């Protein structure tokens, strides 16, 4: 156990926690069409919304370290740790009661019903359908993905870091590094495919969860979220062993290191840039290019023929030269015949082609099952001998996109970038976009086309009703969108909240720490105290539970397509109602702490 000095109540942390709660209200309620993506969660880059959850967990880590050191001074280790373990389980129960189980049993018979999922058929490499009990799948999906709301994540992180929370700073720093490294290794091994619900992934098959996807990292995301909690405990150490002024500077430096490393790691996403598809060539230009190519080829053929005739010895008799004169005519006839045959072939209807394919499929069905299986079996050579995939290729198969819509969106190998793409590119071309800026979309050409259409409509002097409506829809769907000359497939190295990638958790936690350093300056050093922040900051669990109930009711008055002014008005009303409830609890000294 560390001999770290303990602190009393820290005003700056109460203010920071209150600011985090208030920010959460905006983000969780104001997800209207007219609201900028800056205020919303975006899986593939960091916005204002994305530092809030790491900020909560960071604040919990700070308080966790503070309170456990105080309790260990008064009680035995067994009593102290068992208390935190029970409180963590209680927090999971609160989360389940607020957000549900992610599934339901509508009829009594559902408890004994079965669900169909796809699994890998062993050595054949093919997928087959199997039946699993619905109750088993319900439990496994709950553990994999449906459980992981912020309260459950905090609770499990508390249990996960419990063995080191009272240890010295070096132990906790090494534990933090270990969490980052193991999250990367697990993601390379299986976790990318597991999170995205790739049915051929061995972990998906082991858990029998089918195509179920995770959010906020799922079961194995706890490793990344624990980084924020451990960072909070380290910041507590800095504050406890330094004056407020010195602590503020050191904590801001700590934040800068987190953000810089997170951004540098995110630059790996530039190796997943993809060229935009070429625009279809116009018919007239295509015909002109074809004619030009044909003319150039004809001239080249004639030139080659002349050179050949000059090179031949003049021994042939005149009578034997006549067939050579007829040769061009024969060639011409052959070409005409070939063109007619091609034209007749092109006249085949789509129905005839479909019939041919159907007949071909029937022939294939008529082949022995063994032959068909061998044909569909990957990794076989000409002699039919199976080539066992190397471990790396096997891992890539577990993480490679499987669903049709995922092939273009997600990279084939999301973990190991193709470093050969760095050739010929300057440093600026290898840097990721600044944080809070929307990166290229996998289908960036479609985005560029819509941006162009929007600009054309905006340039028109007058718009009819249909054009005005189209412009409004484009403006809302393109909020934050940028024009890029390349697309980008999604990968592990982008700041990806669904995976809780290392670049995301480091940068977002760094932002939270930097904001806290600012509150040290404002509150602890300069004495600034904002009542709203204090009210929410001293009762965050109550505020969190109340906002969930209030939000459920208030969204009935908040259509998704509301104009911008109404979006912010109803959001303000929502926050005011929450404040009245939590302030009432504060006046009566009612605080809910787990």
332 HSE (CA, 13 A, CB side): 5
Q: To the nearest whole number, what is the mean pLDDT of the chain?
A: 83
Q: Is 550 a domain residue?
A: no
Q: State how far the Cα of 53 lies from the Cα of 120, in Å rounded to an integer.
A: 37
pLDDT digits (tens, 9 = 90+) for 385-421: 444 444 555 555 667 776 666 668 999 999 999 999 9
Concatenate the DSSP letters of all residues of 491-509 into one string: -TTS--TTTT-HHHHHHHH
**What are the E-state strand segments in 391-506?**
486-488
pLDDT at 368: 43
Q: Which residue has the higher pLDDT, 125 or 86?
A: 86
Q: Are residues 133 and 66 in the same domain?
A: yes
590: Cα separation from own chain's centroid: 40
pLDDT at 341: 55
Q: Is 397 a domain residue?
A: no
pLDDT at 570: 96
pLDDT value at 26 more than 50: yes
Q: Is 59 a domain residue?
A: yes
Q: With CA atoms as reference, report the closest residue to 199 among 113, 101, 128.
A: 128
Q: Are residues 501 and 478 in the same domain?
A: no
Concatenate the DSSP letters of all residues of 114-154 into one string: EEEEEEE-GGG--EEEEEEEHHHHHHHHIIIIIT-SHHHHH
Q: How far is CA 244 from CA 225, 239, 247, 525, in A?
A: 27, 7, 5, 7
By residue range, what is the domain housing residue 165? 11-22+41-275+495-545
Q: Is 168 a domain residue?
A: yes
Q: Are residues 89 and 173 in the same domain?
A: yes
**Gyration radius of the chain over CA positions:** 33
Q: Which residue has the higher pLDDT, 186 or 372?
A: 186
27 HSE (CA, 13 A, CB side): 19
Of the listed ranges 82-91, 182-191, 205-214, 300-309, the least confidently predicted one is: 300-309
Residue with token string 């005519």: 329
Q: Is 358 a domain residue?
A: no
pLDDT digits (tens, 9 = 90+) for 539-555: 999 999 999 999 999 99
Q: Are residues 224 and 263 in the same domain?
A: yes
Task: Tell me phi and psi for residue 42, to 5 degrees.
Answer: -130, 120
3-state SS of the chain: helix, strand, coil percent to 5? 65, 5, 30
195 HSE (CA, 13 A, CB side): 27
- Confidence grade of residue 284 (pLDDT, cut at 50, 70, 90): low
Show the CA angle centred on residue 508, arms to residues 503 and 514, nearest 5°: 130
Count CB neighbours of 518 within 10 A: 18
- CB-CB contact of 188 with 416 (8 Å): yes
Concatenate the DSSP letters of all residues of 550-566 into one string: HHHHHGGG--TT--HHH
Identify the domain boundary among 508, 529, 545.
545
Q: How far is CA 343 from CA 167, 348, 354, 355, in A?
A: 81, 9, 19, 20
The count of domains in the chain is: 2
Q: Which residue has the higher pLDDT, 319 or 550?
A: 550
Show the tokens assigned to 357: 């394919």
Q: State how far the Cα of 280 lies from the Cα of 263, in Å rounded to an integer.
A: 37
Task: Tell me phi and psi for residue 482, to 5 degrees.
Answer: -120, 155
pLDDT digits (tens, 9 = 90+) for 322-370: 444 444 444 445 545 555 555 555 544 444 444 444 444 444 444 444 4
Q: Is 248 a domain residue?
A: yes
- Taking each continuous run of H as one helix and of E as one strand, the counts in the chain are 22, 4
Q: Are residues 445 and 541 in the same domain?
A: no
pLDDT at 377: 43
Q: State how far the Cα of 288 lies from the Cα of 128, in Å rounded to an integer.
A: 52
Beta bridge partners of 275: 486
Q: With CA atoms as reference, report the closest residue to 570 among 549, 550, 555.
A: 555
Q: With CA atoms as reference, report the closest residue to 57 among 291, 222, 264.
A: 222
Q: State how far the Cα of 132 lies from the Cα of 113, in Å rounded to an integer.
A: 9
First and final C-alpha spacing in the chain: 23
Q: Are residues 457 and 513 in the same domain?
A: no
- Confidence grade of residue 104 (pLDDT, cut at 50, 70, 90): confident
Show the CA angle centred on residue 339, arms to residues 337 and 342, nearest 5°: 110
pLDDT digits (tens, 9 = 90+) for 505-527: 999 999 999 999 999 999 999 99
Q: State how far the Cα of 462 lies from the Cα of 12, in Å rounded to an integer.
A: 54
Q: Which residue has the higher pLDDT, 4 or 459?
A: 459
- CB-CB contact of 481 with 438 (8 Å): yes
pLDDT at 372: 40
User: Mean pLDDT over residues 118-146, rounded?
Assistant: 84
Count CB neighbours of 126 within 10 A: 14
User: Mean pLDDT over residues 210-230, rounded?
Assistant: 95
Surface-to-core class of residue 526, CB atoms within 10 Å of its CB (0-12 exposed, 13-18 middle, 19+ buried): exposed
Q: State how far the Cα of 46 lies from the Cα of 55, in Å rounded to an integer.
A: 13
Sign of the torsion formed by the C-alpha atoms of 361, 363, 365 and 370: negative
Q: Are residues 476 and 506 in the same domain?
A: no
CB burial readout 546-579, b (16+ within 10 A) else e = bbeebbeebeeebeeebeeeebbebbeebbebbb
Q: With CA atoms as reference, report the closest residue to 122 among 386, 416, 497.
A: 386
Q: To 10 degrees, what angle do helices 540-554 and 11-29 make?
A: 20
Q: How far is CA 264 from CA 20, 269, 495, in A?
A: 26, 10, 11
Of the listed ranges 60-69, 96-105, 450-459, the least confidently predicted one is: 96-105
Show the tokens assigned to 128: 């087959």
Task: Tell me phi and psi for residue 588, to 5 degrees.
Answer: -100, 15
- Confidence grade of residue 126 (pLDDT, cut at 50, 70, 90): confident
Q: Is 216 a domain residue?
A: yes
Give SS3 for 275. Answer: strand
Q: State how far the Cα of 559 lies from the Cα of 32, in Å rounded to an integer.
A: 8
- CB-CB contact of 158 with 229 (8 Å): yes
Q: Which residue has the higher pLDDT, 286 or 492?
A: 492
Q: Is 109 a domain residue?
A: yes
Show the CA angle centred on residue 31, arms to residues 25 and 33, nearest 5°: 155
């Amino acid at each position: 156990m560390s001999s770290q000095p303990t602190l009393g109540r820290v005003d700056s942390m109460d203010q920071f926690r209150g600011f985090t709660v208030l920010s959460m209200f905006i983000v969780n309620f104001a997800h209207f069409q007219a609201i900028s993506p800056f205020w919303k969660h975006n899986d593939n880059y960091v916005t204002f919304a994305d530092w809030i959850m790491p900020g909560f967990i960071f604040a919990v880590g700070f308080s966790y370290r503070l309170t456990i050191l105080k309790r260990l001074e008064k009680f035995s280790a067994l009593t102290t740790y068992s208390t935190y373990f029970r409180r963590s389980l209680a927090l999971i129960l609160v989360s389940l009661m607020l957000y549900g189980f992610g599934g339901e049993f509508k009829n009594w018979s559902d408890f004994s019903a079965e669900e169909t999922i796809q699994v890998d058929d062993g050595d054949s490499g093919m997928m087959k359908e199997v039946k699993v009990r619905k109750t088993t799948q319900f439990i496994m999906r709950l553990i994999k993905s449906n459980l992981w709301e912020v309260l459950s994540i905090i609770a499990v992180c508390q249990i996960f870091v419990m063995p080191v929370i009272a240890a010295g700073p070096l132990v906790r720093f090494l534990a933090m590094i270990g969490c980052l490294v193991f999250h990367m290794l697990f993601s390379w091994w299986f976790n990318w495919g597991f999170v995205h619900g790739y049915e051929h992934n061995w972990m998906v098959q082991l858990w029998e969860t089918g195509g179920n996807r995770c959010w906020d990292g799922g079961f194995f995301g706890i490793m990344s979220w624990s980084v924020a909690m451990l960072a909070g405990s380290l910041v507590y150490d800095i504050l406890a062993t330094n004056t407020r002024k010195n602590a503020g500077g050191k904590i801001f430096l700590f934040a800068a290191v987190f953000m810089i490393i997170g951004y540098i790691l995110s630059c790996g996403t530039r190796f997943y840039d993809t060229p935009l598809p070429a625009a279809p060539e116009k018919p007239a230009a295509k015909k002109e290019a074809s004619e030009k190519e044909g003319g150039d080829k004809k001239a080249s053929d004639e030139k080659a023929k002349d050179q050949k005739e000059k090179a031949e010895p003049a021994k042939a008799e005149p009578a034997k030269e006549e067939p050579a004169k007829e040769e061009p005519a024969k060639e011409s006839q052959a070409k005409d015949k070939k063109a007619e045959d091609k034209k007749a072939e092109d006249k085949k209807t789509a129905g005839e082609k479909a019939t041919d394919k159907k007949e071909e499929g029937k022939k294939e069905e008529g082949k022995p099952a063994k032959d068909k299986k061998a044909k569909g079996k990957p990794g076989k050579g000409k002699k039919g001998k199976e080539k066992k995939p190397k471990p790396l290729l096997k891992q890539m198969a577990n993480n490679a996109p499987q669903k049709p819509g995922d092939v273009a969106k997600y990279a084939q190998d999301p973990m190991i970038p193709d470093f050969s793409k760095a050739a010929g590119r300057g440093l600026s071309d290898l840097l990721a976009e600044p944080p809070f800026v929307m990166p290229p979309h996998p289908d960036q050409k479609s985005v560029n086309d819509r941006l162009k259409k929007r600009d054309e409509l905006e340039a028109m002097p007058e718009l009819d009703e249909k054009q005005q409506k189209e412009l409004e829809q484009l403006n809302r769907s393109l909020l934050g969108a940028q024009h890029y000359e390349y697309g980008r497939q999604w990968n592990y190295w982008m700041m990806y909240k669904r995976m809780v990638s290392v670049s995301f958790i480091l940068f977002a936690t760094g932002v939270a720490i930097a904001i806290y350093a600012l509150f040290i300056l404002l509150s602890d050093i300069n004495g600034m105290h904002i009542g709203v922040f204090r009210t929410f900051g001293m009762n965050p669990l109550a505020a969190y539970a109340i906002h969930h109930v209030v939000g459920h009711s208030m969204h009935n008055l908040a259509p998704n397509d509301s104009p911008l002014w109404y979006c912010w008005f109803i959001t303000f009303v929502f926050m005011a109602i929450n404040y009245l409830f939590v302030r009432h609890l504060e006046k009566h000294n009612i605080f809910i702490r787990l």
